[in-house]
Amino acid sequence: MREDAVVTPGDGTLTITNPFGAVTVRGLPPRVASLLRELPGTLAGKDDLVARLVAAGGTDQEIALLLVTLDRLNPILVHAVDPLLRFVPVARDAVLRPPALDQGETVRLSRFALVRRSGGELVLESPLSRHRVTLTGDAMPLLAALGRAVMVKEAPEALSRLVAAGLAYPGDAEEADPALRTWDFHDLLFHGRSRSGRHDEPFGGTFRFLRELPPEPARKPAPTGPAVHLYRPSLEDVTATDPPFTTVLESRRSVREPAAAPPTIRRLGELLYRAAGVRRVSGPASGVPYETSGRPYPGGGAMHELELYLVVGRCAGLDPGAYYYDPFAHRLIALPAGARDADAMLAQAGAAAGGLVRPDVLITITARFRRMAWKYSGMAYATTLKNVGVLYQTLYLVATAMGMAPCALGGGDADLAARAFGLDWATESSVGEFLIGEAPHGTAGP
Ligand SMILES: Cc1cc2nc3c(=O)[nH]c(=O)nc-3n(C[C@H](O)[C@H](O)[C@H](O)COP(=O)(O)O)c2cc1C
């Protein structure tokens, strides 16, 4: 049984508490109850326990009660194939029912399975599996062979259990499954791990580093460099002159061929302020032990870990080059990016938008990953990508209302961006790209 299960005796009951809930069993004979109390952290299987009960003089009725109870506890029972593998259940509905495999059949490791170090152990996992398998050194030859194919008769028990756990497949069964065919390895892993239900890792707003690390501040320490203060529109004026919301929403389009004339620095300032400028900062407060900020777009936990960088090809009143947007002071800070990197970023972004023109302004969205990971377990990066989506839409809507040419991009070179903006890739790097120009007459805008 999982070693974190706790068996608590009550008045004629046994309650087995585990990471997925609690099971209460009533009216167990003392012999069966004492067997179950010893279970947490042990590998005793069904046959083992029945044999021990029989040896202790257990009756048929006691054996039947033991088996029914073990069925209820299946999702927390650890199954062992000695001396190779230990199958530890990691989800509420984990059940291991080894199929009868033909001895002449072959089995292959799932292409979604991975081996990694977890604590002091080597484990085999897959988003398709509700079990984590702990590997011993003896399991290595079998694992290596499973990269190709192993005949069932060579390791029948291990193979049928790996198949039961969804970590290996007989023949071409995995390739033949239309639901699995189109998944990339990393996408399925990310899907499985960034939602709850299929793993036993901590999940949600756990504040996992609360006592170890200070939270990243709401305001990123601005890079040093010449600052360009931007135009800050009056929101009252904008409200009075903006087209109606539904007109903006219904006329929003991705515009990949902007007008011949580039945007001005004043219009760029207005766009950035309306879409991404900081409106307020608060905290830390009780229950929210970190600074938060308020901006026009929502953000998971009000953490607002996203930062904006601009690569300017053409903008009236602003030199071409790379800039950091400081959303607190509403200013740009010129970065010493090499012209070659800035050019490469514009060229790649232009190609991603169909290669029709060289972009006037590329907005690169980066994330300060530590800000989210300090608070969230399992869902920090997924939340960041969702935050990119809402910022995209906010940029789209403000640009449309202003008669500019917006276009989101789905991919970019995070290494190149980190180099161009002087960032450490693992600490802060790009998670989104967005093109801005002026809308050609009649193609965009309300
Ligand atoms: C997340 C996301 C990624 C996108 N990636 C690209 C891209 O790489 N290249 C491109 O030309 N358009 C891209 N677009 C724009 C879509 O192609 C566009 O939204 C879609 O065709 C619908 O057209 P519309 O925006 O004019 O309504 C992207 C849009 C989103 C929301």
Quick count: other Cβ atoms within 10 Å of Cβ 213?
11
Q: What is the model's pLDDT at position 442?
A: 59
Length of the chain as a residue count: 446
Q: Which residues contact 241 (CB under 8 A, 6 or more apart)?
A: none
Distance 214 CA to ligand 1 centre (A): 38
Domains and CATH numbers, the chain: 6-75 (no CATH), 79-183 (no CATH), 227-438 (3.40.109.10)
Distance 353 CA to ligand 1 centre (A): 8
Distance CA 330, CA 399 (A): 17
pLDDT tens-place string over residues 86-102:
999 999 989 899 999 99
pLDDT at residue 443 tops 90: no
Pocket of ligand 1 from Cβ distances under 6 Å: 253-254, 256, 352-354, 392, 407-410
For ligand 1, atom 1, which residue shows the shortest CA distance?
Answer: 410
**What letter would DSSP give residue 138?**
G
Atom of ligand 1 nearest to the CA of 392: 31
Distance 412 CA to ligand 1 centre (A): 14
User: What separation in angstroms does the CA of 203 have from each of 80, 336, 382, 443, 446?
Assistant: 27, 40, 12, 45, 43
Q: What is the model's pLDDT at position 401?
A: 98
Distance 408 CA to ligand 1 centre (A): 5
Q: What is the model's pLDDT at position 11?
A: 85
For ligand 1, atom 27, which residue shows the shortest CA distance?
Answer: 253
User: What separation in angstroms does the CA of 237 have from each of 232, 243, 298, 415, 445?
Assistant: 11, 12, 23, 41, 18
Distance CA 163, CA 155 (A): 12
Atom of ligand 1 nearest to the CA of 393: 31
pLDDT at residue 287 tops 90: no
Atom of ligand 1 nearest to the CA of 411: 8
Report residue 331 as tokens.
């200013």
For ligand 1, atom 13, which residue shows the shortest CA distance?
Answer: 409
pLDDT tens-place string over residues 332-388:
999 998 899 999 999 999 999 999 999 999 999 999 999 999 999 999 999 999 999
Using DSSP's 3-state secondary structure scheme, residue 229 falls into strand
Rounded mean pLDDT, 138-157: 96
For ligand 1, atom 15, which residue shows the shortest CA distance?
Answer: 408
For ligand 1, atom 2, which residue shows the shortest CA distance?
Answer: 410
**In degrees rounded to 5, what are phi and psi of residue 171?**
50, -130
pLDDT at residue 445 tops 60: no
Rounded mean pLDDT, 313-336: 98
Distance CA 234, CA 86 (A): 65
Residue with tokens 């170090």: 117
For ligand 1, atom 19, which residue shows the shortest CA distance?
Answer: 254
pLDDT tens-place string over residues 190-246:
999 999 999 999 999 999 999 999 999 999 999 999 999 999 999 999 999 999 999
Distance CA 104, CA 72 (A): 34
Rounded mean pLDDT, 123-145: 96
Distance 434 CA to ligand 1 centre (A): 10
Rounded mean pLDDT, 112-128: 97
Distance 291 CA to ligand 1 centre (A): 33
Asked if residues 28 and 16 have their Cβ atoms less than 8 Å apart, the reply is: no
pLDDT tens-place string over residues 40-84:
988 887 888 999 999 999 999 999 999 999 988 988 899 999 889
- Could you give the percent of the chain with pLDDT greater than 90? 89
Of 295, 319, 318, the closest CA to residue 308 belongs to: 295
Distance 335 CA to ligand 1 centre (A): 28
* Chain center to CA of 427: 16
Best-predicted range by mean pLDDT (3-7, 287-291, 391-395): 391-395
Mean pLDDT computed over every residue of the chain? 95
Asked if residues 9 and 17 have their Cβ atoms less than 8 Å apart, the reply is: no
Quick count: other Cβ atoms within 10 Å of Cβ 317?
14
Q: Which residues pair with 266 in a beta bridge?
A: none
Q: What is the model's pLDDT at position 446?
A: 60
Distance 275 CA to ligand 1 centre (A): 18
pLDDT at residue 444 tops 80: no
Distance CA 109, CA 170 (A): 9
Burial 141-161, CB ≥16 within 10 A → b, else e: ebbebbeeebbbeebbebbbb
Instruction: For residue 3, count CB atoms less than 10 angstroms from its CB and return exposed for 0-12, middle for 13-18, buried for 19 or more.
Output: exposed
Using DSSP's 3-state secondary structure scheme, residue 219 falls into coil
Of 383, 427, 426, 417, the closest CA to residue 308 belongs to: 417
Identify which of 256, 409, 434, 435 to mutate to test ligand 1's pocket (most ligand atoms within 8 A of the CB).
409
Distance CA 438, CA 360 (A): 9
Question: Terminus-to-terminus CA distance in the chain, angstroms?
Answer: 64
Q: What is the model's pLDDT at position 46?
A: 82
Identify which of 250, 254, 393, 413 to mutate to test ligand 1's pocket (most ligand atoms within 8 A of the CB).
254
Asked if residues 190 and 199 have their Cβ atoms less than 8 Å apart, the reply is: no
Distance 260 CA to ligand 1 centre (A): 21
